Structure 1
Amino acid sequence: MSVSDTPSRSAAEYGLPDDEIVAEIPVYLTQKLDKQLHLLQYPQKDGSITPGELQPREARIKPIHGQIELDIPLDVQSPMYNKERGAALGVGISDSGRLLDITTLVSVGIPQNSEYLAGVMRDGELHLTAIKKAIQLRPSLRYLDRVAEKDLAAKKMDHSDEEEEVKKETKAQSVQVTVRSAQAEEALRQQQSSIAYMQQKLEEEPWSGLAYFDVGTEESNAVHADLIADNKEDLISKTTPDEYLTAVIGSIVPDVL
């Protein structure tokens, strides 16, 4: 942050506690990328992510629902990698005897309880772009479901009678009696129908390939340039500070005098 060449002012001029103001930074807002920016969180990562660390082998998106998947390669040559276990789990991603050599990160929407902004400092100016979408990327374990499905199919071929008996026992154990009001039954039915409908629509939407460019690439730098505002006209406020606070947090008059 650069220090302004203009004479410093007292904080009292701004209605702040007495303290020296060492810099005044112009703030500009830009909307060039506000519909494209996503904030990706990696809850399983500690600390910062270095360039190239999470370079995916493949990336894809469902544009309508905004779901993203990244296939992150695993180092199968690492002495810490269990190739025997990797081969056993590899049937969950391929029938060709391939090792489990990727981990798939899938996006999960999170409640946006606060507003996020992407900020860039350039020439002593702060340029801000609103971020409309915040998601977390968590490992997908779908390959385990596929392994289980294949194991079950193999067992059915070898033990069809035994499997049928297990199904009967499971069906008998899963029966339970519940009593609900007609209103509760209808509410539950509508909820289940709505969830099933949304899940069906999500699964029906095809994936679209994404081109991934890491930090420092020409493509990344070109997009980064769009975070800088072109229009630097001053915004004229049409509200007083009290009116703005009232619009944001409600009445600013204390309840108890």
Structure 2
Amino acid sequence: MSLFVAEEDDHMNVDESPSSFHEALEEQPQHTSSSSTSSASSPDMDEQEDDDPIVSSIPLILSQVPNPSSQSLHLIQYPGRPKTLPYKDNLKPSIKEDSAFLEFKIPLDTSRFYDQSRSEDWGVSHQIEEHGLHGVLNKTEGGMYAGMVREDGKLILIPLDSTAQLRPSFKYLDDLEVARQAQRRNDFLEQSKPASVQVLQTSNAKSAAAQGNTGEGFANNALGESLRCIKKFDEERWTPLKFEDGEEAQKTRKELYTNVVETELKSKSTMSEYISELTKV
């Protein structure tokens, strides 16, 4: 039956008499059964409600690294690096633990796309053979896991301690810019040496405290804190790390998911409670 009507049937003809209009109504079929009655009598409703049955269930096992006192698990990402070109050869990782700063030294192929004259323009006297990737380890505070489905059908979840996004760092260019700024500063000081130096000292201790409560005082405190953090970072030593690949990496990965203390996770929430949490405003 079509859902559309012809244009001439879209409205009632005003020339028709009331009696003929009532006769047309009486010819319409009468539906006495309600929607609830028809739904209950339909034999296919149960099959339609269960058209996507549960085929199998996967046990969730919460685990941890084999030696939590000396081991930790981190997620390292490389934004802008395609998955088809992973970093895997001769990597030299190191870390500044107090600053949670991670560095990867990666060999640079100078046989292709390397302009020696350009590096000389930058002031780099030697050939650059490697470049670095830097990133900060951010604590996950729970809720992020590394998972693997084992051969026995169990999904093993191991909490991640932190994540880091490593991006290229061009330290030789930064050092060159710092050297240029220092040279410009020295040239400016040589040209504008004052004839005499005056030292202004105040004996009012309250003026210093009052300055600390102003916007300028807060800015100076923030600048001082930033400089102290930079000084601490520069003085901290790099700790080299071991990078495993190939069979060693496969062995370590296998240990993570085999020699574990299994704690099966079981949900205490009903499906309706779970849906309510998802739709909560």
For Structure 1 versus Structure 2, the TM-score category normalised by the shorter chain is 0.5 to 0.7
Measured against aligned partners, the alpha-carbon deviations of 1:83-103 in whole angstroms (never above 9, x if no partner) come to 222344472xxxxx4211211
Alignment check: 8 A CA contact 1:128 1:227 kept: no
Identify which of 101, 104, 108 aligns with 1:67: 101
Matching residue within 101, 110, 125 for 2:154: 125
User: Is structure 2 residue 131 aligned with structure 1 residue 98?
Assistant: no
Q: SS state of the match for residue 32, structure 1? A: coil
Query: So what's the TM-score if we normalise by structure 2?
Result: 0.60
User: Is residue 182 from structure 1 mapped to residue 227 from structure 2 by the alignment?
Assistant: no
Q: Does 1:138 pair with 2:167? A: yes
Q: CA deviation at 1:118?
A: 0.8
Q: 2:261 aligns with which of 218, 231, 239?
A: 231
Q: Which residue of 2 aligns with 1:31?
A: 64
TM-score w.r.t. length of structure 1: 0.64
Runs of 5+ consecutive residues of structure 2 not aligned to the other structure: 1-45, 195-210
**CA, structure 1 residues 195+241, in 2 after alignment: closer, same or farther (shift >3 Å)?**
farther
Taking a change above 3 Å as real, the CA distance of residues 236 and 223 of structure 1, as seen in their structure-2 partners, is same
Separation in 1, partners of 2:266, 2:107: 51
What is residue 79 of structure 2 aligned with on the other side? Answer: 43
Deviations 1:135-168 (A, max 9, x none): 1111112211323455678899xxx868834999
Work out the CA distance in 1 between the residues paired with 2:163 and 2:231. 23
Query: Structure 1: which amino acid aligns with 2:190?
Result: E
Partners of 2:219 and 2:255 in 1: CA distance: 47
For 1:155 and 1:189, how far apart are their aligned partners in 2? 24
The question of whether the paired residues in 1 share the 8 Å contact of 2:79 and 2:166 is answered with yes
Q: Distance in 1 between matches of 2:181 and 2:99?
A: 32
Q: 1:207 aligns with which of 238, 247, 257?
A: 238
> Which of the pair has more CA radius of gyration?
2
Write the letter of the residue equivalent to 1:164.
E
Tell me the distance in 2 between the aligned counterparts of 1:43 and 1:161. 41
Amino acid at match of 1:40: I
Question: Could you say if the C-alpha distance between residues 233 and 60 of structure 1 is closer, same or farther in structure 2, counting changes exceeding 3 Å?
Answer: closer
**Unmatched 5+ residue regions in structure 1?**
1-11, 92-96, 169-179
The correspondence for 1:164, drawn from 190, 210, 228, is 190
